[in-house]
């Protein structure tokens, strides 16, 4: 059956990780923790799709310059385990990573959460609607952070490409919202929602707004460079946290996606 599908589509079938439990990779490079340190006055979240996790050196350079330097949370997509480990080590952060599938070149492809605060729990959320041609699977990664004793739930999302249709991607977004519904008052859901087709941005924002989320990255503009021009694909949504500043760093960062950042008021 797989051979028939390959011959009909001309596309290789992806190898997927459908198990809720993993594979899972995690580490902590935060160094000694100063328990006497005061509470932060803000919380900065970055979402960054690093294309196929290839230009890691360039990504590290981007993540160590203003305004991204010192971010509390970095949510990443299209990652593999070695790239996540290297970035977390260079930046002195804890991390958790789950791959969703294996690329044609044999590298894993998935989502990561990196944090300057302890990661106390994490899990993978399998999303519906695999790519109909490649059968490639998509996921979200949920992590609970403890920020000076206050739990904050963060989610790194990578929706499917527009080939699955707007309805399919809205189903994926709603699956993520459902997965963290009722788990706490402070939440950030961010990532690549692949809203390149007409109307999809408005429908995605409407979905989150209807479920009580603020479009925290509203107004930052296009986040991707493409052959047809700039595209708005990457978003930050929040619940219980108020944004102070937001933006896109459009300097070279090793990817067609530009990092999106939001600085939230803290304490909430």
Determine, yes or no, domain membership for 49.
yes
Surface-to-core class of residue 1, CB atoms within 10 Å of its CB (0-12 exposed, 13-18 middle, 19+ buried): exposed
Split into its structural domains, the chain has a count of 1
- To the nearest 10 degrees (0 to 180), the angle between helices 56-63 and 81-91 is 30
Cα 182 from Cα 159, distance rounded (Å): 22
Residue 66's contacts (CB-CB under 8 Å, 6 or more residues apart) are none
Cα 162 from Cα 108, distance rounded (Å): 21
pLDDT of residue 232: 96
Dihedral angle sign, alpha carbons of residues 100, 102, 103, 104: negative
Determine, yes or no, domain membership for 22.
no
Cα 213 from Cα 135, distance rounded (Å): 31
Other CB atoms within 10 Å distance of the CB of residue 143: 25
CATH number of the domain encompassing residue 251: 3.60.10.10
Determine, yes or no, domain membership for 9.
no
Rounded to the nearest 5°, which phi and psi values hold at 226? -145, 175
**191 with 140: CB under 8 angstroms?**
yes
Determine, yes or no, domain membership for 15.
no
Domain that holds residue 162: 42-265
Surface-to-core class of residue 113, CB atoms within 10 Å of its CB (0-12 exposed, 13-18 middle, 19+ buried): buried
Determine, yes or no, domain membership for 174.
yes
Determine, yes or no, domain membership for 159.
yes
Q: Which of 93, 58, 100 is nearest to 79 (CA)?
A: 100
pTM of the model: 0.94
Determine, yes or no, domain membership for 16.
no
pLDDT of residue 35: 46
pLDDT of residue 249: 97
Which residue ranges in the chain fall short of pLDDT 50? Answer: 1-10, 35-36
Helix, strand, coil distribution of the chain in percent, nearest 5:
20, 35, 45
């Amino acid at each position: 059956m797989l051979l028939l599908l390959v011959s009909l589509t001309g596309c290789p079938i992806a190898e997927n990780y459908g198990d809720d439990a993993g594979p899972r990779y995690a580490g902590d490079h935060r160094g000694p923790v100063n328990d006497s340190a005061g509470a932060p006055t803000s919380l900065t979240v970055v979402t960054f799709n690093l294309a196929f996790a290839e230009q890691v050196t360039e990504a590290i350079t981007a993540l160590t310059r203003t305004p991204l330097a010192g971010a509390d949370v970095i949510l990443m997509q299209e990652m593999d385990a070695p790239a996540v480990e290297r970035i977390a080590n260079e930046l002195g952060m804890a991390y958790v990573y789950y791959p969703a599938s294996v690329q044609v070149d044999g590298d894993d492809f998935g989502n990561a959460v990196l944090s300057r605060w302890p990661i106390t729990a994490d899990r993978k959320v399998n999303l519906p609607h695999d790519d109909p041609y490649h059968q490639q699977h998509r996921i979200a990664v949920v992590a609970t952070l403890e920020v000076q004793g206050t739990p904050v739930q963060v989610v790194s999302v990578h929706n499917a490409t527009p080939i699955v249709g707007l309805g399919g991607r809205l189903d994926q977004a709603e699956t993520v919202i459902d997965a963290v519904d009722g788990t706490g008052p402070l939440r950030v859901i961010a990532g690549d929602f692949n809203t390149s087709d007409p109307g999809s941005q408005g429908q995605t924002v409407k979905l989150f707004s209807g479920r009580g989320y603020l479009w925290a990255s509203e107004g930052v503009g296009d986040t991707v460079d493409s052959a047809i021009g700039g595209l708005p694909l990457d978003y930050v949504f929040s619940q219980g946290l108020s944004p102070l500043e937001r933006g896109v760093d459009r300097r070279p960062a090793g990817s067609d996606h530009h990092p999106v950042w939001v600085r939230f008021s803290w304490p909430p």
